[in-house]
Structure 1
Amino acid sequence: MKHSRRNFLTLAGASSLLAIAAPKLLAQGIPQEILNKILPLPGKYGEYYGQAKIRAFHLHNQPETSPLHKALEELWIEVFKQTEGELFVSPIPHDASIPAGDPQAVQFITDGRFEIVSVAGPIIDQVAPDVIGIQNIALIYQSSQDAFEIINQPLFAETLNGSVTKYNLTYLPYGTFDNGMRVVTSIANKPIYQLEDFRNLTIRIPPSNDMAMTMAALGAIPEKVTMNQVFQFLKSGAVQAQENPLSVALGFKLYEVTKYLNMTNHAWSGYNTFFNTDFWNSLSPEVQKVIQNLLPVYQAKQIKAQEEYNQYAYEQLVGTLGMVEIKPNLSGASRELIKVYRSIYNRLNPQAQSLIRSKLEERTGSKFA
C-alpha cells in the first residue's frame, strides 16, 4: 500500500507550500514564464518533443549550464532516437522554479504531476532513511570515485528502490549522478581554519536531519533552507555560511555573498534519479531496456564532465572571482561525529549497513556491528 500524501509530507519535512493540489501536469503552481520556456521547446529540441508519442519532464535543481542538465539532455535525446520517437523527456532546470524547491519536486513525482526527478541524498533522508544515509555520512569519502564504488553496487540500487517503492517512486541501477565533494563558503568575518571555527557558525544546510545532526555535532547552528533560497539567506545575513560542491557556489553565484572558500571536502554530493512508478510501468519493456542500457553510459559521461567542471569552478572562484581559499584542519572531526555515524548507521537496513560498514570502520577505527 502506498503511503498517503500527508505521511509523505511529514517525512519529507516540506513546507506548507507542498499542499498545492496537482490534478494536472500543467496546473497552478508553475510560473507562466517557466511554462513559456518549456512549451513550445525551441529548435530541434522542440521538433523532437512534437514528434514523440510519449512526452515527459525531468526536474532537477541545477542551472542549464550544469553538467547534470547537459547530460540529461543528451541522455533523453538518445533515448528518443533509440526508441524511434516513442519517448521524449525534457529536463527542467531549477525545479521549474516551483516555490518549495526540491522537496516539492519529489512530491510532484510521487503524485504523477511530473514523471522524473533527480535530487541529492539529504533531500530524501527522511523518505528513505534506511538506505540514503549512506550518501550523507560526513568525512568518510575521499572523492566522488570513492562514493560511487558503493553507490554503483547492484545491492545499493536494489535496496534504495525497495525503500522508495511505497512512495510510488522507482530507482534504477546507475541512476545517481555526480555533483562532487561539498565545501563551505562563508561570509567575510567567518573563515574556517580549524574545527573550532564551526562553533556557533550559522550555516545553511539542505532540509536534512542527517546534515543537521552533523553540523550540530561540530558546534554549528544549522538552518534548513532549500537551494532556491540560499542566495537570499546569505545576502540578508540570515546565515553566515553554506555548504555545497564547488559547481553550486559558481552556478548559483554564491561568490557574490560569501568571501571564503573553505575546502572542507566534508561530504560527497550527487543526484539520485527517481521515476514515478506508474509512469515507469506504463513504458514498454523495450523502452525500459533502452533507458536501463543508457543510464551507465551517461552516468560515466556526467561524472567525468562534473569533475572537469568542478576544477573549472575552483579556478574561477579563487582566481577570476576573488574568493579566498582556506584549507581547514579538521583533524579530530571523526571523534566529534562518532555518535552521528552510529545514529545514521543504526537507521540503515542490514543490506545498506553491509555496504558501508567497512568504510566506516576504516575511517573511524571503531567497530560497527
Structure 2
Amino acid sequence: MTIRLLTLLGATATILASALSAHAQTALKWAHVYETSEPFHTESVWAAEEIAKRTEGRYKIDVFPASQLGKEADINQGLKLGTVDIIISGSSFAARDHAPIGVTYFPYIFRDPAHMIAYTKSDVFKRLAAGYEEASGNHITAVTYYGTRHTTSNRPIAKCADMQGLKMRVPDVPAYLAMPRACGANTTPIAFAEVYLALQNGTVEAQENPLTTIEAKKFFEVQKHIVLTGHIVDHLNTVVSKNLWSQLSDADKQIFTEVMQEAAVRATKIIEEREKELVATFKERGIEVTEVDRADFEKTVNEKVKLEDFGYNKEDWEAIRAIK
C-alpha cells in the first residue's frame, strides 16, 4: 500500500512539475510581411532564439513571415486584438495612431542612413515614440534601416521637372506621394504584387523602391533607367504590443530591448552592404544608373508640399534635420 501511494505521489509530482514548466514558458507570435530570405526575417528569427536563450527558455517566440498573419495593416491591428505580440512595421502605420511620428517619411528629411540611425538615438525620436506609445499603448523597441528609396523609369530623369506627366506607381501613403506629385508625376497605387506586370505592359512607366527591392522583384528587367533620387531613407520599427510589454518584468524588458536592437543593427548592416554592391551590379547588367541633382528635388518638394498637410510638426522636422 505504501509503495503504491509513493508511486502515485511521485507520478502526481511529475505531472505537476511538467505542468508548471509548461506554464512557465510563454508562447509569443512575431509577425511581418517580408520574405524569408530578407534580413528582416532572418534577424527576427535570430532575435527570437536569442531571447529564449537569455531568458532561460521562459519565452518561445514563433516568427511568421510573408504576411502569414495578415498584411501590414492587419498585423498592426493584431497588436490591439491580441492576435500578435511583436511586429516589424513602418512608421507610416504607427502614424495612423500618432501622426507626428510619420514625419520621418517626409522626402529628404534624412541625409543618409547614418543620419536616420542617429535620429533613433535622439531626444526627438524618444518624444515621437513616446507619443505613439501613449496613443496606442504599444512600445517601439528598435528601428532597422529598410533602404533608401529610388526611382526606376522608362524615361530618363535628371531633374525634378523631368517627371512631369510620368505615369508612376507609388504606395498609397501620403508622404510617399509627396515627391512624385511635387515633381508633376501622375501617381497610381497599384498593388505591390502587380507592379512588375504593370511596368511590363505599360500601365505605368515608373515606380520607386529601395535598390534591394528593385533587385528582389526584378523591376530592372522591365525598366530602362534606375534614377538615384534617394527621396526617402526608409526604416522599420520593431513594436511590442501593449499587452505583452505591460506583463514583462523590468529585467525582461531590458533583454527584449537589447536583443531587438542588436537584431536591428545586424539587419541594417546587411541592407547597407547589399545597396553598395547593387549599383555596380545594375551597371554591369547594362541598366542606366543616373545620379540626379537631389537639391533640385528637395527644393521643389519644400516649395510645393506643406508639412502641416500631413499632420507633421515643423519643430520635429527641424530637430531631425539638425541632428549630426
TM-score by length of 2: 0.82
Counterpart Cα distance in 2 of 1:225 and 1:83: 44
- Letter of the 1:81 counterpart: K
Bigger Rg over Cα:
2
Unaligned runs of 5+ in 2: 1-21
How big is the alpha-carbon RMSD for the aligned residues of Structure 1 and Structure 2? 2.9
Of 131, 151, 154 in structure 2, the residue corresponding to residue 184 of structure 1 is 151
Alignment of 1:303-342 (within 5 A): 303-319=268-284, 321-339=285-303, 342=306
Shift of 1:341: 5.7
Assess if the C-alpha contact under 8 Å between 2:307 and 2:313 holds in 1: no
Determine helix, strand or coil for the equivalent of 1:94.
coil
1:138 is the counterpart of 2:107 = yes
Assess if the C-alpha contact under 8 Å between 2:178 and 2:305 holds in 1: no
Shift of 1:327: 1.8
Unaligned runs of 5+ in 1: 1-49, 363-369
Deviations 1:124-150 (A, max 9, x none): 4443321221x1121242310011111
Of 38, 41, 48 in structure 2, the residue corresponding to residue 69 of structure 1 is 41
Counterpart Cα distance in 1 of 2:294 and 2:122: 30
Match of 1:79 in 2: 51
Of 259, 273, 276 in structure 1, the residue corresponding to residue 238 of structure 2 is 273
Alignment of 1:1-369 (within 5 A): 53-96=25-68, 98=70, 101-133=71-103, 135-172=104-141, 175-186=142-153, 188=154, 190-225=155-190, 227-319=192-284, 321-339=285-303, 342-344=306-308, 347-349=311-313, 352-353=316-317, 355-356=319-320, 358=322
Deviations 1:79-137 (A, max 9, x none): 11101111132333322273xx322332222322222221223344443321221x112
Structure 1 stretch displaced more, 230-239 or 301-310: 230-239
Assess if the C-alpha contact under 8 Å between 1:132 and 1:160 holds in 2: no
Determine helix, strand or coil for the equivalent of 1:131.
helix
- Letter of the 1:185 counterpart: T
- Letter of the 2:311 counterpart: R
Assess if the C-alpha contact under 8 Å between 1:195 and 1:218 holds in 2: yes
The verdict on how the C-alpha distance between 1:219 and 1:298 changes in structure 2, with shifts beyond 3 A counting, is same
Structure 1 stretch displaced more, 242-251 or 59-68: 59-68
Counterpart Cα distance in 2 of 1:226 and 1:115: 27
Counterpart Cα distance in 1 of 2:245 and 2:316: 25
Assess if the C-alpha contact under 8 Å between 2:212 and 2:278 holds in 1: yes
- Letter of the 2:82 counterpart: G
Counterpart Cα distance in 1 of 2:74 and 2:304: 27
- Letter of the 2:152 counterpart: T
Percent identity at matched positions?
A: 19
- Letter of the 1:201 counterpart: L
Counterpart Cα distance in 2 of 1:97 and 1:278: 18
